[in-house]
A and B are shown apart, each in its own frame.
Chain A
């Protein structure tokens, strides 16, 4: 759904799951995805719960200082945050604005 809402040139990479297809998170998979997604304007990383947060933190540590300079892990619900971040980024907004929109998504009321 996030891809459907994106604009051409936006990079959205799913980096969940283990290399063997199992449930979980893989450090190198995440750091490779961050590197691939970083075209200069920055990267917002959406995580769900449990090990995803820890693994994403570790993946950031694997990157050199320049590589993680414009990378932010969003404290956001993964579905709402991802959709909101993709749309915000599609407007050409800054990394800080995209991150703020993702994090504000937790306030969306469902009923």
Chain B
């Protein structure tokens, strides 16, 4: 299992479109993906769970991946968040 901590930096936070991108990326790997923030845990492959986290800009979250492709999976998810989902930071 790999665990990383990341901060949401895009202005609008993990709203619908970024949540969709996250779930689609997570689902492209076989590893189990979990998100944890604000005492909530979500299945990283469930759009409703990820949107329901209500992650705003500057939220810190822990992502864990567990499975055969966990390393590449975590790397891809980190890259997605760090790229601000292609959105603006301000």
Q: Are A87 and B52 in contact (CB under 8 A)?
A: no
B51 partner residues in chain A, CB cutoff 8 A:
84, 108
Secondary structure of the B side of the interface? helix
Question: What separation, in Å, do the CA atoms of A88 and B48 have in the docked complex?
Answer: 9
Q: Are B17 and A1 in contact (CB under 8 A)?
A: yes
Interface centre among B19, B20, B27, B45 (most CB of A within 10 A): B20
A110 to B: closest C-beta gap in Å: 9
User: A59-96 toward B: CB 8 Å interface, digit per residue (1/0)?
Assistant: 00000000000000000000000011011101110000
The reply on B8 being an interface residue by CB < 8 A is no
- A-side residues, CB < 8 A to B, are 1, 4-5, 7, 83-84, 86-88, 90-92, 101, 104-105, 107-109
